[in-house]
Copies of this chain bind each other. A is one copy, B any other.
Amino acid sequence: MKSEFEFIETIRRRYNLSKIGDDCAVLPKDSKTDLVITTDLLVEDVDFRLDWTTPEFLGHKALAVSLSDVAAMGAKPVWAMLSIGVPAQIWKTDFVERFYNNYFRFARKFRVEIIGGDISKTPDKIVFDSIVAGEIEKGKAVLRSGAKAGDSIFVTGSLGGAAAGLNLLESGIRYDDSAKIWQKPLLLKQLQPFPQIHTGQRLKEKSLATAMIDLSDGLSSDLTHLCRESRVGAKIYAGQIPFHKNLRLVAGSFEEKINYAVHGGEDYELLFTVNPKKKIRLENGLKNPDFSLIGEVTANAEIIELITGEKSSILEPKGYRHF
């Protein structure tokens, strides 16, 4: 079956859609500023389950996933809209109230103004469409398409935590008093992801990143997107991947950890490429250095190699896909 990525590629070519293909569309705003904008659809029983999460977590996450796209452009989020569809039996409860309270609280944290939205009834499942716009100095948006062979590849934070949290939820663990202390950070990484807004902006201000994408589908898929747009390939050094510190408690072997970190989605960290001449500036430029060098851009277009010790294997995009 055709994946959604293949379908988007088809319509992008057929209708010559030049604004499509990055975390956000980039539009001219005024003589000094560009507007970046993104939309993310979240569907009950596909993206979340009501018995795994809370209205508060969902309010946070609905905004966070779109903020993460704005972060990946290096932009400052400015305004947001939210469309929400809920069945009548949910409308009768305090779900929507609790959802919005946390959505607004999180928006205020980043001084994002809520400017509109829509509310609809649905037959039986909840759905959100989260729209966030950001602003950035004209021509400075960090695209997926700027990586060059020889650039170093970095990720922020740690990987695999959100996928391990999902695994815990699937095995019946819930974020409540019964959860073990080591499980909670993994569950939170899945339920309440934190978008890397400040790091994204710092990278842009210092003109450090040649290309950037947020890790939503999973490293293997998102790096493939970046490489396709940049017409390059990549080598990833397995031994340098920053695993979530509690990942070892879910994944026993190194192979298992790699699997979570490379193919597991929803970490909402940033993946970015840097000209090696600027590595020192990167280390000095980010105030709280929380990033890891994990590989290198190659000229081997769209081929991603995973280097484990002496061995090299081709890394196929096995991150999340809907179809």
Contacts and interface: CB of A to CB of B under 8 A. Distances in A.
B45 A123 contact: yes
A286 to B, nearest CB: 29
A129 B39 contact: yes
Interface stretch (A23-31, A298-306, A310-318): A23-31
B119 A81 contact: no
B116 A46 contact: no
A41 interface: yes
A245 interface: no
Nearest to A79: B27
Interface string A109-128: 00001111111111111010
Interface residues of A, number: 55
A100 interface: yes
A127 B85 contact: yes
A233 B25 CA distance: 42
Contacts of A118: 39-41, 129
B19 A119 contact: no
19 contacts: A17-B113, A17-B114, A29-B29, A37-B115, A39-B81, A39-B117, A43-B120, A43-B122, A43-B127, A46-B120, A46-B121, A46-B122, A47-B120, A88-B323, A122-B127, A123-B125, A124-B125, A125-B125, A131-B131
A11 interface: yes
A4 interface: yes
Nearest to A21: B116
A46 B125 CA distance: 12
A253 B26 CA distance: 54
Interface in A49-91: 79, 81, 83-85, 88, 91
